[in-house]
Amino acid sequence: MRFLLLITLISVPFTQLRAQDSDVDQRVINIKDLVVSTEKPGAFRPLVRVISVIEAKEIERAAISSLPDLLRYVQGVDFKARGAEGVQADINILGGTFDQTIIMINGVNFTDPQTGHHSMNIPLDISQIERVEVLQGPGAWSGGAIAFAGAINFVTKESDKQGASLFMTGGGYGYFKAGGDVSTIREKWRWIIRGYAGGGYSRSDGYADNTDFETGNIYSNIKISDNEGKNSFFIQNGLILKSFGANNFYSFTYPEQYEKIDAGFTSFQYSYVSDKFILSANIYHRRLYDKFELFRYDSPSWYTGHNYHRNDITGGGVEAGFRLGKAGTVTTGMDFRTEYIMSTVLGNPTSKKVEIRDMDDLYYTKSKGRYTPSIFLKYILQGEKWKVSAGATLTNSFNEPGVKGPYGAGLYGGVAGAYNITPYLEANVWITSTFRNPTFTDLYYKSPTQTGNSSLLPEKATTYQTGLRYSDNSVKAGISYFYRRGYKIIDWIRESSNDQWSAANITDVNSSGAEFSAEKRFRNGFVERASISYGWLNVKKSSGNYHSLYATDFLKHKISASLNHKIYNSLEAGWTLLYQEREGTYLDLSLNEKEYKPFTLLNVKILWKRSSYSIFTEITNLTDKKYFDLGNLTQPGRWIKGGIVINL
C-alpha cells in the first residue's frame, strides 16, 4: 500500500509547476436540487438524496483547523470530541450512534469494523477537501453498503491546473501545523492526466494534562480520462500517523491513557460512460494499526500489557446502468467486502503466530474475519416535474471458513419521490430499511464489568422522512421531519446491579426529529453569505425488564449560524455560532450523575486574501466557554491561532 502511495506521488511531475497569474480559484458550487452524485462517474442520476453540503469556499473561511471539527456545525450531525483537533471524534447522524454512521472517501466505504471510534482516522487534511456531503436515507447507499443512520462522504480536490501551495499555522497550547499540496495536469495523445498530492503535520502540547497530540498525513490521487470523457481511471492513496494523550478518554480511574494509530488506504476506480450505458468498477484496501495504553507512564504490577490491534478492510464492486428512454434508468451491480482483525484482546483465539509490528517476541493472540457480499438494483423514473426512485439490496455476512456464526441473508430497500411545485420549490419523501453488523468490539470486548457477545445479530431500522427544499441562485432553504424505528438494536444490558453488562439484540430505539435551514448569498455588498439551521431531536428506547447502557445523550436542540462579510478591500471575516442542548446525563470524576448543560460557542476568522497568498487569524471558543461533548471530558477554552497560505 505504501509502495502504491509512493508511486502515485512520484507520478506527479513537480517540475511542471509554475506560478499562477490568475486569482485563487473561488468557485462556489450551487446545488440546484437534491441530487449530488458521489458515484464515479455521475452521468446517471442516483436515488433522491437528502443532503447537506459544505463547499470549499466555506471550509476556507471557517475558523476550523481539523476536518472532524468542521462537522460540528453541519445540520443533522452530532459531533462528540474526546480531545482537541479531532484526535478522537465520534460522528452521529439523526440520533444514531458513531457505529451507525458510514464514512466514505470519494464514494469508497472506509468505515472501521473494529469500532466507530476509528472511522474518522482518515488520512485527509482539511486543506485537501473540495466538499463534504452528509447523506441520509436512500442517498446514503453506496454500492452494496447501506448506512444505518447516514453517511459522510469526503470529496477530495482534483487537479484542474498546474500549481502548488504551502501553509503554516501556529497558536496557543504549543500548536503548530504546516504542510502543502501540489497539482498538475497534462495531455498525452488522447488522454488527460491530472495529479494531486498533499500532506500536513500538526502538534500541540495540549490544553490540559495528557491532551497533547501529534498527527501527520499524506494523500494523493491521479485521474486519467480520455478526451471524449467516456473512460476514466481514478487512483487514490493515503496515510495517517497519529498519537495522542487520551486523558480520561475511556476510564476516570486511570486518566493517563495513550493511543497511537497508523492507517493507510488505497483504491482504484474505473468508469465508462456513454449516452445510454454506464459501467463502473472499484477495488480498495485499508489497514489500521492501533496501540492503546491504559498507563502511558508507570504501570502497576497487575497490568498485563497494552492492547494491540490490526484491522484490514478489502473490497470491490462493479455497477452497470442502462438508460431506457421514457421508461427510466436501471442500475444494477454487486459488491464484496472483507473485514479482518488480529488483536491481543478482540477475536477468537488463534494458533496462527503473527508478530506485532515493531514489537519483538510479542504476537497477536486473537483474530476474526467476516465476509459480506451484496447485489443491488436501482430504478429511477422521471417526469417533467417529478421523480420516483426505488432500490433494493440483498446482502449476507458470514464468518471465515471453519467458524460458525449467526449471520444470515437480508433484503433491504428504499423508495423516494420528489415533486417540483415550482421551478425552485421541491417536495420530497422517502422510506428506507437499513441494517448494521456488530463491530468486533461489540462481539468480543471484555472488561471486569462488560462482556461482548459473539452471537450478536445485525441491528435493523426503518426510516421515514419528508420535507420541502427551496433553491435559486442566491437562496437555499429547507424543512424536514423524520422518524426512525430501530429494532434488535445492539445494546449492553443487565438484569440487576450484581450482573455484568453483556451485549445483546434486545433494545428498541425510536428516533424522531425536525430540521430547518436557510442560506442567503449576497452580491456586491458588505455581507457575502449568511446561514442558519435548527434541529430538534427526540430518542426513546425500550429494553423490557433489563437495565440498558444504550446511549441516549442526544442533541435535543441544535442551532448553527454563520456569517461572512467584508471588512476592507481584501480583508474579510467569517463567524460561526453554535448552540446545543444535549439530553442525558454523565458521571463526573466523583462518579456523581450530572445533566448536560446547554452551551454556546462563537468562533471568528479574519482573512486577508490575495492571489498569491493569504494571511489569517482565527479564534475558536471566543467567549472561553467551558463545555462537554462527551462525559466529563473538558474541551479547549479560547484558542487563538494565526497562519499563512502561499500559492506558488
- According to DSSP, the residues that pair with 551 across neighbouring strands are none
Contacts of 554 (CB under 8 A, 6+ apart): 78, 92, 95, 511, 537, 538, 539, 582, 583, 584
CATH number, domain 2-647, options 2.40.170.20, 1.10.10.10, 3.10.110.10, 3.40.50.880:
2.40.170.20
Backbone angles phi, psi at 2, to 5 degrees: -65, -30
Q: State how beta strands 501-521 and 475-494 pair.
A: antiparallel
Look-up: residue for cell 468486533?
440
Selection from 614, 613, 611, 645 nearest residue 23 by Cα: 611
- According to DSSP, the residues that pair with 221 across neighbouring strands are 196, 236
- Residue 93, helix vs strand vs coil: strand
Separation of alpha carbons 517 and 560, rounded Å: 9
Model confidence over 14-60: pLDDT tens digits?
333 333 333 333 333 333 333 333 333 333 445 556 677 888 888 88
Separation of alpha carbons 73 and 52, rounded Å: 11
Separation of alpha carbons 82 and 71, rounded Å: 15
CB 214 within 8 A of CB 197: no
Q: Kindly give the parts of the chain with pLDDT less than 50.
A: 1-45
Selection from 397, 433, 419, 425 nearest residue 138 by Cα: 433
The dihedral region occupied by 85, where left means phi > 0, alpha psi between -120 and 50, and beta the remainder, is left
Contacts of 597 (CB under 8 A, 6+ apart): 627, 628
Check residue 609 and give its pLDDT. Answer: 92
CB 135 within 8 A of CB 49: yes
Selection from 462, 468, 498, 494 nearest residue 481 by Cα: 468
| Number of residues written out for the chain | 648
Check residue 46 and give its pLDDT. Answer: 52
Q: State how beta strands 571-582 and 108-109 pair.
A: unpaired
Is the bond preceding residue 373 a cis peptide, omega within 30 degrees? no
Q: Where are the domains of the chain?
A: 2-647
Contacts of 585 (CB under 8 A, 6+ apart): 553, 593, 594, 595, 596
H or E segment to which residue 587 belongs? strand 585-587
CB 398 within 8 A of CB 370: yes
CB 565 within 8 A of CB 591: no
- According to DSSP, the residues that pair with 11 across neighbouring strands are none
Separation of alpha carbons 335 and 40, rounded Å: 15
